[in-house]
Chains A and B, each alone.
Chain A
Amino acid sequence: MIQAIAFYLFAIIVIGSAAMTISSRNPVHSVMWLILAFFNAAGLMVLVGAEFIAMLLVIVYVGAVAVLFLFVVMMLDIEVAQLRAGVARYAALGLALAVALAAEILIGIGAWSAGGLKISQRIAPIDGNVPNIQAMGQLLYTRYLFVFEAAGFVLLVAMIGAIVLTHRQRGGVKGQNISRQNARRPQDATRNVQPPVGQGVQL
């Protein structure tokens, strides 16, 4: 009972916020609605027992992707009227895509009710009582340790690459030198002056 209520709650909010994402006038509001949709999709994932994917949705999509969207949207100067004109221009293409997606869903449901595709058995089926985050963690840091470490190297290469290709030394920038700041004594930085009455301070 409680599952059903939670499901309908999450599902309705996902659909509603998705509709708001494409219909809202302000692009920043669109991104906010998108984040709400992500959160509720994560809730749906928890309901079907895929808590790892739920975590990923929140961490990766809400934490990184949506924030990135938000930055991009805030930096762009988006003319809503112009976008509206675009909608009319690409309506036919969008409609065709929507029809294709709907057809795929229908075919998928039809094939599913006719019985699943016969693909191979899993070599190592997961024990139903182990939560899937735990199952994944156990494999990731033991059996697949080698590949996991290598994936770390891939990220290191990406980082080095980004710095090599974009970093440049710029002149005329005031950098902070903490040891020099700490070594500075009051007598070097300040001086006592006694300005005569009626005159300002000569700096």
Chain B
Amino acid sequence: MDYAANLAMTLPEVILGVGAIVLMLVSAWGGSASTRAVSWTAVAVLAGACLALLGPASYGGSAFDGLYRADAFAAFAKVLIFIASGVAILLAPDFFQRTTGDDLRPEYPVLILLSAAGMGMMVSASDLLTLYVGLELQSLAAYVLASFMRRDTRSAEAGLKYFVLGALASGILLYGISLVYGFSGTTLFGGIAAAYAAPHSLGLLFGLVFVFAGLAFKLAAVPFHMWTPDVYEGAPTPVTAFFASAPKVAAMGLAVRVAVEAMGPATDQWRQIVIFAALASIVLGAVAAIGQTNIKRLLAYSSINNVGFALVGLAAGTPEGVSGVLIYMTIYIAMTLGSFLIVLQMRDDDGQPIENIAALSGMSRTRPGLAAALAIFMFSLAGIPPLFGFYAKFAVFDAAVRAGLFPLAAVGIAASTIGAYYYLRVVKTMYFDDPAPAFPKGNSPVEGGLIVLTAAFVSPLGYLAIPLLGGWTMTAARALFPAI
């Protein structure tokens, strides 16, 4: 196969990479004055990368001698990643302007573009090398973004903590990769699957455990979640919104692909790990969130909890399960981005962000629209019908039950009621407590529009999208299971 065909399949990453380099040059000469132009161009580059998925990038198959897979699964995950990255770029300039008084530096959109290229590689990886390099490209940009407000000690702390723990996770993952490579003799996912299918030594299973531990770290699944609340709290809010959305989709896509494509024959082995991580994340995410007074920490635990639910779908190990994971992640990023958009509206008259949940008191009287939107997101995150978040949970539990994992489904559903408590507490604070000082009205049409859009998607209107969403996710999931 010639390079043109290979490049056509990797076109989304090529567009992102070239776009990032060009915008880097623009920002090097333009300085802070060029931030808004660079931001909008970066969003256009992401849209271009989405459009590129219409081509061979979504059906081309293997590129670069099996290093990269362009299939429907990768394309679906990439659409989610690029949309979430675009939102993270759009939110930033106003936030930084208000909080620091200075213009946002134009490296921010450039780093998000490079991170998005890394995430694209992650969900398209069909070789351990692509997996690792993609993951590092994503993570390294994320470490810098976490401490982007470098004068703020919490932001610097978040970046440092994320970097140290992320490096540890990379080490664990690399150790697993080296074991898998050593005992299977190849880094290609197809070859690894063949090694797992044949009678194999214990070494391969050790490799599997370490690879899953490393991936759980990147997913922030319990017991590798401890960095999440601190990093989410310390990072600037638009960056936190980014962390909670796009990299989660990428890490989940990567975990699904590794589990199904590379380690499919060892499903019984990794299922135990995934079930443990899923249940532990659901329970710990729910219980630990109860005592939180900071809304960003609350949402961090909420993201841990939600990753647990998505892993329930992976534990099923069937096309329905993978389709459930994709549905879950789609609805999850809408709910999470929406919640963080509301957090961005929480600020005092000087424009400084407020992160205390108590500040939401009585918001239903001072800002009824905002309160209603947050109530929709909270009810949806709790999985209460008729909101769309219910369908997400339904899809993953349905797949788990069909795969015969009754105990997992039963415990998961029971634990989701614990989670409902703290989501409903936020709603109670907004609707039944005495009003706190009102937040000043925002004047950003972009943020307002995005809140309306995400709220509409997770409201019962979202059910209209089910036939479309179900069809796409099923096509995407089948791409991973060629035999069925």
A residues sitting closer than 8 Å to B (CB atoms) are: 118-123, 143-147, 149-151, 153-154, 156-158, 160-161, 163-165
Chain B residues, Cβ within 8 Å of A143? 64-65, 67
Find the A residue at minimum CB distance from B181.
A120
Instruction: Say which residue of B105, B130, B144 sits within 8 Å of A146 (CB atoms).
Output: B130
Neighbouring A residues of B117 by C-beta, 8 Å: 150, 153
Question: Do the beta carbons of A123 and B140 come within 8 Å of each other?
Answer: no
B185 in contact with A120 (CB, 8 Å): yes
Q: Are B148 and A164 in contact (CB under 8 A)?
A: yes
Are A165 and B114 neighbours in the complex by a CB distance under 8 Å?
no
A144 pairs with B195, CB closer than 8 A: no
Q: A146-B64, A150-B121, A153-B117 are in contact. Are A122 and B133 (CB under 8 A)?
A: no
Contacts of A163 in B (CB 8 A): 107
Q: A145-B64, A153-B117 are in contact. Are A160 and B133 (CB under 8 A)?
A: no
B67 and A164 contacting across the interface, CB-CB below 8 Å: no
Q: For chain A, what secondary structure do more than half of its interface residues adopt (helix, strand, loop), or is it mixed?
A: helix
CB nearest to B108 among chain A residues: A164
Residue of A nearest to B68 (CB): A146
- CA of A62 to CA of B114, assembled, Å: 32
A118 vs B185: C-alpha distance when bound (angstroms): 11
Other A-B pairs beyond A157-B111, A160-B114, 17, CB < 8 Å: A119-B201, A120-B183, A120-B184, A123-B186, A145-B64, A146-B130, A150-B118, A153-B114, A157-B141, A157-B144, A160-B24, A160-B107, A160-B111, A161-B111, A164-B144, A164-B148, A165-B159
Given contacts A123-B191, A164-B107, A164-B144, contact A153 B67 (CB under 8 A): no
Q: How far is B194's CA from A121's CA once the two chains are assembled, in angstroms?
A: 13
State the Cβ distance, A14 to closest chain B Cβ, in Å.
27
Give the CA-CA distance A147 to B191 in the complex, in Å.
18
In the complex, which residues of chain A have a beta carbon less than 8 angstroms from the beta carbon of B121? 150
Nearest neighbor of A117 in chain B, beta-carbon distance = B203
Q: Are A119 and B140 in contact (CB under 8 A)?
A: no
Q: Does B129 contact A (CB under 8 A)?
A: yes
- Which residues of the other chain, A, contact B159 by a CB distance below 8 angstroms? 165
Q: Chain A residues near B133: list those with CB within 8 A.
A: 147, 150-151, 154
State the CA gap A120–B196 with chains docked (Å).
12
In the bound assembly, the distance between CA atoms of A124 and B117 in angstroms comes to 30
Cβ-neighbour of B67 out of A121, A144, A158 (below 8 A): A144
B245 to chain A, nearest CB (A): 20
Can you list 10 A-B contacts (CB < 8 A)? Answer: A120-B185, A123-B186, A143-B65, A143-B67, A146-B6, A157-B111, A157-B141, A160-B107, A160-B110, A161-B143
Supposing A120-B195, A143-B65, A153-B137 touch, asked if A165 and B150 sit within 8 A by C-beta, the answer is yes
Interchain nearest-CB distance for A24 vs B (Å): 33
Chain B residues closer than 8 Å to A120, beta-carbon distance? 182-186, 195
Please indicate the chain A residues that have their CB under 8 angstroms from the CB of B134 in the complex: 150
